[in-house]
Chains A and B, each alone.
Chain A
Amino acid sequence: MTAVTLASPGAAVRYAPPIETELERLVAALGAIPALAERYPLRWLAVQLLEGDEHLLAEAEGLGGPAVTAALAASRERLAPHYGEDLDVALVDQRYRFVHTLARQALTRPAAPPLTLSDRIDRVVTHRWLGIPIFLALMWVVFKLTTDVAAPFVDWVDATLSGPVSGWATALLGAAGLGGSWLESLLVDGVIAGVGGVLVFVPVLLALYFALALLEDSGYMARAAFVMDRLMHALGLHGKSFLPMVVGFGCSVPAIYATRTLDSRRDRILTGLLVPFMSCSARLPVYVLIAAIFFPAQAGLVIFGLYLTGIVVAIVIGMLLRRTLFRNQPPAPFVLELPPYRLPTPRGVWRQMWERTAAFLRKATTIILATSIVVWLLLALPVRGGGRFADTPVEQSAFAALSGAVAPVFAPLGFGGWETSGALLTGFVAKEVVVSTLGQTYAVAELEEAAEAAPTNFGEDLLGIAGGLVSATGDALQVLPGVIGITLETPEEETALEGLAAAVRAGFEASSGGHGALAALAFLVFVLLYTPCMTAVAAARHEFGSRWMWVSIVGQFVVAWLAALLVFQGGRLLGW
């Protein structure tokens, strides 16, 4: 239905007579300045200046000089007896009266307004005692989705990349007469293993963004802010800061930018410092990998525990910061609209899943590709022993030497091996690289074997890939009831990235003196808490300045180191 009337264009707000008089005077004064008259609608500009817009005032004074200042001051003085200090609220109020008249014409309300479905849902969801349990239950479902349901697809992508795709690359290079060359090694061990190690987790990210899109589009996210307000007060923040925190579970970078919705600089900085403790989705691949290797039976629990640990550490750090750096600065009061509940549309949800995952993939093809190649180069360069370029044992490479030099820092934490310290180093670039570097340092030889071991033709490969997808979907559907607590069958004894598992396990056992699982747990805690990736650091500098960026970089490293130390040495003392 379309209604078009062109009868009275420019039906605008009329203010009370004293204000209208001053608006006329101001329009006349501003109209005398051509630079302003060309740039702005004058009546609008006059209203904004009366309302106290500082940006526009500075600009108008810049273009019009003291004449503007004088005219505005005179108008304000004449209006002071009518409105006192509340001139701007009076303007808003009168605009609302105009709006009220409009709405009365355009809208007929039912005699007895029904209690909306939204309000009825809110009675339960925002309930004083039920609110937090409901929130935690929803978060649990999100983690089950991102772990158990996504897992079969993760296996499928991994099998496809390390099997057929690596095989095709080798075959193509072989056909071009480059088989067994350093180029093959770069492509298969560097590019495919590195970027592939990240692509493997696209199903996990799709699941996470699916859940976030549902929570956002349904309107629940704003309720979560209200429900969590009391808990957030413990951090010296309020419910509104909760939104950037939840976004932080996806990625710290948009979360840091999301702090802009907060009203005071103090809240923005404090929230920005705590956001990186919310475990971002790029760290999830590390958890999935390590947990699948060391805690296959309780992987979901371990990962959920890590997310909780991040939240608890944020609470502790928040309380500390509130009593130290942010002493004498109370949180700004907050107001937030709760939109009505809405059924998310499949198209809207898919769009968000795709846009966010695509943004991640763009990163994967730039930063991660570059990092993978640099790491491969360092791995290929021999610094000891008699190896040649691209044909040197890993432990004699430049990368091993560099990582070995920093490894002692991590020795008290139980993971002082050069392989892990190397992965943590590249993790400064981007957290998702930790997994691909582990893949490169632990499994270079193993992947080569896998690539050469499978003499299949292209058609068989395609059939195998398609069949794998079908069975992965079947597996995921079987897992789905488990998300809400029903288990159809015991999970299979199958872990992702099997070849890598043995190498990683052996590495952790060696570096921790036989306490591999404990060292793995300390490693996970360290990955959870340590310095965010360089993109997040850049975002923090952009938003809060260099000083706070360094607070974030150094502070988080120290916190992570201490927490991992506590886990490993504490666990040892308890006899694990």
Chain B
Amino acid sequence: MREVTIALAGNPNVGKSTVFNALTGMHQHVGNWPGKTVERKEGRLILGDRQITVVDLPGTYSLAARSLEEQIARDFIVRERPDAVVNVLDAANLERNLYLTAQLLEAEARLVLALNMADVAAARGLRLNPEALAAALGAPVVVMSASKGQGLAELKATLRDLVTASGRGVRPSLKEVAQ
């Protein structure tokens, strides 16, 4: 069985590391990106009988690769072609956060949107319509408040569906096709 890799992408300060910790628990490995001094966090997530590698990409506002962090995030998404990219967004600052989503879509990443901090959004009177967003993007959307543990089960279920769905479960990477 081919190893399945999922990347976490998102702006800084959206609770991405909370989501990462919740997904991988104690099964984490902290190192550096090859030849770089930026920290690389990787963890394991067991879903059913699948073991999934979760890579926490550096928090970035864009994929324009003007900083080292952006370059690392972009190279991973475009070159390594993870099986899915979980795009963690701040639901209370949706519009600005969706800018990165637009770039991820352009990079043809297979997206799962995690609208995090839904509790903060609700407190500000913002009403989310995840169905409309999912329909517009053609990608699953999970509403969550990771710091309170809400929505994690749904996120895991969505990821399980994604990696086990027949035919679509694992898509060969461009690199493998090339070889």
Contacts and interface: CB of A to CB of B under 8 A. Distances in A.
A1 B12 CA distance: 24
Smallest CB-CB A-B distances: 7 pairs: A110-B125, A339-B13, A106-B133, A3-B134, A9-B138, A108-B127, A103-B95
A345 interface: yes
Contacts of A347: 21
A489 interface: no
Interface of A: 1-13, 38-41, 43-44, 47-48, 51, 53, 55-56, 95-96, 98-100, 102-103, 105-110, 113-114, 116-117, 219, 257, 260-261, 337, 339-340, 342, 345, 347-348, 351, 355, 542-543
Given A55-B65, A99-B95, A102-B136, A11 B120 contact: no
Q: Give the one of A8, A96, A339 with max B CB within 10 A.
A: A339
A345 B17 CA distance: 12
B119 to A, nearest CB: 10
12 contacts: A1-B143, A2-B154, A3-B135, A9-B139, A39-B79, A55-B65, A103-B98, A109-B125, A117-B123, A340-B120, A348-B147, A543-B37
B133 A105 contact: yes
B78 interface: yes
B103 interface: yes
B23 interface: no
B177 interface: yes
A109 B130 CA distance: 14
A47 B106 contact: yes
Given A260-B68, A348-B18, A8 B125 contact: no
B34 to A, nearest CB: 15
Contact of B99 (A9, A55, A95): A95
Given A2-B157, A107-B94, A107-B129, A96 B99 contact: yes
B128 interface: yes
Interface string B71-91: 100000011000000000000
A106 B135 CA distance: 10
B77 to A, nearest CB: 10
A5 B142 CA distance: 12
Given A3-B134, A7-B138, A542-B37, A95 B103 contact: yes
Contacts of A39: 79, 174, 178
A11 B157 contact: no
Contacts, number: 153
Contact of A337 (B12, B141, B158, B174): B12
Contacts of A103: 94-95, 98
A6 B141 contact: no
B125 A114 contact: yes
B108 A41 contact: yes
Contacts of A99: 95, 98-99, 101-102
Interface in B41-93: 61, 64-65, 67-69, 71, 78-79, 92-93
Nearest to B100: A99
Given A3-B140, A106-B132, A348-B147, A41 B126 contact: no
Given A43-B106, A51-B64, A348-B18, A5 B94 contact: no
Interface hub of B18, B67, B98, B129 (most chain A Cβ within 10 A) = B98
A337 B13 contact: yes
Given A3-B140, A106-B128, A13 B134 contact: no
A553 B102 CA distance: 46
Contacts of A9: 138-139
A8 B133 contact: no
B136 A107 contact: no
Contacts of B131: 3, 5
**Most chain B CB inside 10 Å of its own CB: which residue of A51, A347, A543:** A347
A12 B67 CA distance: 25
Contacts of B124: 110, 113-114, 116
Contact of B78 (A38, A44, A105): A44
Nearest to A105: B132
Contacts of B61: 337
B108 A3 contact: no
Contacts of B170: none
A44 B79 contact: no
Contacts of B158: 2, 4
Contacts of A105: 129, 132-133, 136
A109 to B, nearest CB: 6
Given A44-B78, A105-B132, A1 B106 contact: no
Contacts of B174: 38-39
Contact of A2 (B107, B108, B129, B141): B141
A266 to B, nearest CB: 16
B135 A7 contact: yes
Given A108-B126, A345-B147, A3 B141 contact: yes
A4 B134 contact: yes
A95 B104 CA distance: 12
A106 B94 contact: yes
Contacts of A40: 78
B106 A13 contact: yes
A1 B129 contact: no
Contacts of A340: 92-93, 120
A271 to B, nearest CB: 16
